[in-house]
């Protein structure tokens, strides 16, 4: 049936990749999460969305959080952004405990959440203005960030005039304009079509390369996670627990050609197995039965 | 068989019609009721259960008096005509027998005035001047000699003959009016004339139009109000009541929408209060605020403000909470979340809410104007309605309707202008918006350049050397 290609183990790292991880470990810890637990009181009882989640992200690292739908990814990132309070656990940004939302942690939502009454420029100016900067300073900074995401021509457009991909670029610019220390992104490209999504992933890597920012990126898309990440945090469902933190052995800079690199495929396969253990799959997948075996079809 | 293109595509389930067809249907939606009204009014064999009297007559021994303009039923009218004819026949019979009656000067003077409605209609006499016997006397003369003819209402040959016979008697005594010189013997009565008509509550378009023209332009006796003044009075009350409701209702509504505290504190009572009909407070309001506009403004206020609080709080709650979360992650403080996110975010919907509430306020206005000392347009409707002058009532009702409709259309058009970002505005309003804002944008651009030139510091965007 399938042609077996011998894949290397995802743990095997090329020397330059290993060196890079070593350097990464030396950097200060940007975000430290310890013992995070979240329980929801619902009419049908207490739902434990997250159970004892601990991990840390280093400065200028790009970490993806992946897991099946409903495993608590959004809950996790909303707690980190301060939009939700944890039942237990602690969160530190550069060593300082934080609670509640703050401009030190930016957030990009799946649903864009641009302010529809503000133009692109005014949306990006929002954060700096909240920080008390003058309109003129805010505007000048906003222009730089809009340039960075390549939307200079649209700075006076309103969100409803932009495509989904453009909206998300504005949302990224808006979050970055606040110069947060950590940027959280909750399935930011989930609503985009496959092609735009690919482009946006490359954009994001470009931006990340040019800006001093630590990113925690939520996704349920395997390719996206492997393509973007330094490390991937795999979450188990029910309750949400850290299953493993995977170091991605694919060297940087990343490009689309690497999608078929053995290292890429090995990592992808490993995580895939973790999220969909073999054996379980057969039970869940619908079975198509052919009435007559037609050799031409196969 | 293929139908022609013009017939196709009118009835598509949940599909918008093309622009041209939409405009056409909008026009038709107004023309259709108008056409129906015209058909019912002007096609004589459709409905028309009444006869509208054009020339009336008083009958001997009957106290019920019909005057021109009155309606009588179609069944009764021939009876009425026949009765007058018989009276005339009796007068003629007596005259022929050589024993004409006498002592009829008083009645003959009244009889002369039978032609007054005709003279007014023809413009020979002002309608306030129906008892100007000197002029009427000459109207009789001219009609009899043929110097004048009346086209509308046209005298029937029968009546023309009566006019001539009477004039023969009258002219023998005096060429001009003089009570003393009026014939002593009874003259012949003009036989009632009338037109098929609909009941008084459905006047024909031209009657309404004529009444409107007269009422809206008429000089009124001192102490009474012109229609323009009444209109302003009504507008004043509705605007004052509505603005007060906005001043109170919008902030409270927003507070309720934003803070559960205010929502739970205010909304239950407001919800209860709005079920008590505002008009039931009218006597109370008059007792507290006395006569004048104050209780009327208060009634519009009460009728509007409770709905407004609930509607605005609901609209506020409908704002996407993700926008508030986004603002929080961008560093907005609670106060800024209200002023920079909630208020601008709900404005377009709030604006539409106010449009609908303004429509309701008109209903309250009509009730408000009836409490205490009646005033404004409603007082006119009340008075004229009581006299059954419905052709004078309809123009005012239509005026109110047109005012509400036009205001709403203008506000709806302004919506696109004020909130171009809501994405519902057409190209036209966008163009107007950009035209209107042009000077401001130019000034702002100039200021920006000057500041940019003076501000030498560079932005502190933290850029990274490649890692
Ligand atoms: N406000 C809430 N109240 C109750 N349960 C919630 C709430 N938010 C999330 N949950 C539950 O927590 C679990 C994780 O949800 P979520 O974080 O949205 O998952 P994901 O983003 O990974 O799809 C789900 O089972 C969901 O039903
Ligand atoms: Mg989610």
pLDDT digits (tens, 9 = 90+) for B324-341: 999 999 999 999 999 999
Residue B242 lies in a domain: yes
Ligand approaching nearest to the C-alpha of A65? 1
Residue B2 lies in a domain: no
Whether ligand 1 lies within 6 angstroms of the CB of A116 is answered as: no
Q: Which atom of ligand 1 is nearest to the CA of A76?
A: 17
Predicted pLDDT at B466: 40
pLDDT confidence of residue A262:
87
% chain B with pLDDT above 90: 66
Q: What is the pTM of this model?
A: 0.81
The answer on B240 and B359 residing in a single domain is yes
Judgement on whether residues B284 and B179 belong to the same structural domain of the protein: no
Q: Is residue B464 a part of any domain in this protein?
A: no
Residue B25 lies in a domain: no
Q: Provide mean pLDDT across the span A168-178.
A: 95
Q: Are residues B185 and B263 in the same domain?
A: no
Residue B174 falls inside a structural domain: yes
> What region does B111 belong to: left with phi over 0, alpha with psi -120 to 50, or beta?
alpha
What is the structure's pLDDT at B338?
A: 96
**Mean pLDDT within B156-169:** 93
- Gap from A122 CA to chain B (nearest CA, Å): 12
Summarize pLDDT for B120-136 with one digit per residue, the tens. 988 898 888 888 999 99
- Region B146-156: mean pLDDT is 88
Same domain, B169 and B241: no
Confidence of residue B444 (pLDDT cuts 50, 70, 90): low
pLDDT digits 0-9 by tens, A90-100: 999 999 998 88
- Beta-carbon separation of B423 and A126 below 8 A: no
If asked whether residues B386 and B241 sit together in one domain, one would say: yes
Atom of ligand 1 nearest to the CA of A238: 25
Quick check: is B34 in a domain? no
Per-chain mean pLDDT for chain B:
88
Q: Tokens 């790292």 belong to which residue?
A: A13
Atom 5, ligand 1: residue with shortest CA distance: A40
Task: Name the token pair of B262.
Answer: 């205010």
Q: What percent of chain B has pLDDT over 70?
A: 90
User: Is residue B461 pLDDT above 50, yes or no?
Assistant: no
A293 has a pLDDT exceeding 70: no
Judge whether residue A294 has pLDDT over 70: no
For the Cβ of A48 lying below 6 angstroms from any atom of ligand 1, the answer is no
| B465, part of any domain | no
Cross-chain residue pair B326–A113, CB shorter than 8 Å:
yes
pLDDT of amino acid A30: 95
What confidence tens digit (pLDDT) does each residue in A7-27 have? 788 888 888 889 999 999 999
Last residue of a domain, one of B197, B219, B250: B197
Which residues of chain B have a CB within 8 Å of the CB of A106? 329-330
Same domain, B233 and B376: yes
B259 and B127 belong to one structural domain: no
Same-domain check for residues B301 and B353:
yes
A98 touches A67 (CB < 8 A): no
Helix axes B376-386, B343-368, angle to 10 degrees: 30
In chain A, what are the domains? 25-104+180-275 (3.40.50.300), 113-179 (no CATH)
pLDDT 10s digits, A120-159: 999 999 999 999 999 999 999 999 999 999 999 999 999 9
Residue B228 above 70 pLDDT?
A: yes
Q: How confident is the model at residue B372 (pLDDT cuts 50, 70, 90)?
A: confident
Cβ A106–B329 below 8 Å, yes or no? yes
User: Same domain for B177 and B237?
Assistant: no
Residues B167, B236 within the same domain: no
pLDDT of the residue at B369: 92
Q: Pick the residue with more confidence: A263 or A55?
A: A55
Q: Which residues pair with A39 in a beta bridge?
A: A48
Q: Which of B35-49, B77-91, B215-229 has the lowest mean pLDDT?
A: B215-229
> Do B259 and B182 share a structural domain?
no
Number of domains in chain B: 2
Question: Which of A198, A221, A144 lies closest to A176 in space, CA to CA?
Answer: A144
In a domain, B417, yes or no: yes
Pick B344's closest partner by Cβ from A103, A117, A178: A117
pLDDT of residue B454 exceeding 80: no
Supply the pLDDT for residue B467: 39
pLDDT at residue number B434:
62
Nearest Cα to A143, choosing from A116, A165, A181, A173?
Answer: A173
Give the pLDDT score at A288. Answer: 59
CB–CB contact B329 A83 (8 Å): yes
Average pLDDT, stretch A257-278? 87
ipTM at complex level:
0.89
In this model, does residue A244 exceed pLDDT 50? yes
Same domain, yes or no: B269 and B163: no
What's the pLDDT score for residue B240? 97
Domain housing B265: 227-422
């Amino acid at each position: 049936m399938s042609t077996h290609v011998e894949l290397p183990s995802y743990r095997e790292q090329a020397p330059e990749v290993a060196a890079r991880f070593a350097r990464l470990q030396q950097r200060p810890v940007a975000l430290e999460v310890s013992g995070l637990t979240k329980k929801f009181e619902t009419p049908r009882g207490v739902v434990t969305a997250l159970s004892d989640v601990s991990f840390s992200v280093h400065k200028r690292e790009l970490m993806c959080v992946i897991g099946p739908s409903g495993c608590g990814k959004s809950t996790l990132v909303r707690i980190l952004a301060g939009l939700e309070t944890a039942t237990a656990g602690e969160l530190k940004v550069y060593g300082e405990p934080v609670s509640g939302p703050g401009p030190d942690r930016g957030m990009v939502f799946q649903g864009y959440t641009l302010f529809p009454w503000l133009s692109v420029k005014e949306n990006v100016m929002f954060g700096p203005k909240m920080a008390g900067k003058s309109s003129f300073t805010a505007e000048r900074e906003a222009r730089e960030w809009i340039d960075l995401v390549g939307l200079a021509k649209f700075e006076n457009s309103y969100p409803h005039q932009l495509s989904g991909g453009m909206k998300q670029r504005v949302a990224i610019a808006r979050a970055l304009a606040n110069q947060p220390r950590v940027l959280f992104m909750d399935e930011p490209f989930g609503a985009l079509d496959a092609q735009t999504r690919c482009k946006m992933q490359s954009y994001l890597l470009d931006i990340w390369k040019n800006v001093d920012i630590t990113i925690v990126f939520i996704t349920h898309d395997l390719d996206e996670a492997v393509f973007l990440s330094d490390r991937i945090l795999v979450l188990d469902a029910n309750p949400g627990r850290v299953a493993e933190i995977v170091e991605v052995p694919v060297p940087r800079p990343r490009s689309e050609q690497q999608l078929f690199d053995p290292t890429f495929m090995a990592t992808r396969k490993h995580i895939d197995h973790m999220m969909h253990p073999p054996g379980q799959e057969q039970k869940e997948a619908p079975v198509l039965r052919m009435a007559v075996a037609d050799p031409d079809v196969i | 068989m293929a139908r022609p293109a013009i017939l196709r595509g009118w009835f598509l389930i949940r599909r918008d019609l093309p622009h041209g067809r939409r405009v056409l249907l909008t026009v038709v939606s107004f023309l259709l009721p108008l056409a129906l009204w015209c058909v019912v009014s002007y096609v004589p064999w459709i409905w028309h259960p009444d006869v509208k009297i054009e020339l009336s007559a008083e009958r001997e021994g009957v106290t019920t008096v019909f005057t021109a303009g009155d309606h009588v039923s179609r069944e009764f009218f021939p009876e009425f005509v026949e009765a007058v004819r018989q009276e005339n026949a009796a007068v003629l019979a007596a005259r022929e027998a050589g024993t004409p009656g006498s002592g009829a000067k008083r009645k003959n003077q009244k009889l002369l005035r039978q032609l007054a409605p005709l003279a007014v209609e023809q413009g020979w006499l002002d309608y306030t001047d129906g008892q100007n016997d000197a002029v009427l006397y000459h109207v009789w003369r001219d009609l009899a000699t043929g110097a004048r003819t009346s086209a509308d209402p046209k005298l029937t040959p029968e009546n023309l003959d009566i006019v001539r016979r009477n004039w023969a008697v009258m002219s023998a005594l005096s060429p001009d009016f003089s009570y003393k010189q009026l014939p002593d013997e009874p003259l012949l009565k003009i036989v009632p004339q009338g037109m098929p008509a609909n009941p008084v509550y459905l006047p024909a378009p031209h009657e309404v139009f004529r009444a409107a023209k007269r009422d809206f332009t008429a000089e009124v006796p001192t102490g009474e109000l012109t229609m323009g003044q009444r209109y302003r009075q009504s507008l004043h009350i509705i605007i004052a009541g509505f603005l007060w409701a906005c001043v109170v209702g919008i902030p409270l509504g927003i507070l309720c929408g934003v803070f559960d505290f205010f929502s739970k504190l205010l909304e239950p009572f407001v919800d209860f209060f709005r079920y008590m009909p505002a008009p039931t407070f009218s006597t109370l309001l008059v007792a507290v605020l006395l006569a004048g506009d104050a209780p009327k403004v208060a009634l519009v206020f009460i009728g509007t403000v409770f709905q407004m609080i609930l509607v605005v709080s609901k609209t506020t709650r409908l704002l996407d909470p993700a926008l508030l979360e986004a603002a929080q992650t961008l560093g907005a403080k609670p106060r800024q979340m209200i002023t920079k996110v909630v208020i601008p975010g709900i404005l377009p919907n709030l604006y539409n809410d106010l449009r609908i509430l303004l429509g309701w306020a008109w209903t309250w206005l009509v009730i408000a104007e009836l409490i205490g000392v009646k005033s404004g347009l409603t007082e006119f409707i009340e008075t004229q309605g009581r006299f059954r002058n419905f052709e004078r009532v309809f123009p005012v009702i239509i005026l109110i309707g047109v005012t509400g409709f036009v205001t709403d259309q203008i506000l709806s058009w302004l919506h696109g202008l004020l909130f171009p970002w809501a994405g519902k505005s057409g190209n036209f309003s966008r163009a107007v918006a950009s035209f209107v804002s042009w000077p401001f944008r130019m000034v702002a651009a100039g200021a920006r350049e000057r500041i940019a030139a003076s501000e030498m510091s560079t932005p502190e965007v933290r850029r990274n050397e490649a890692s």
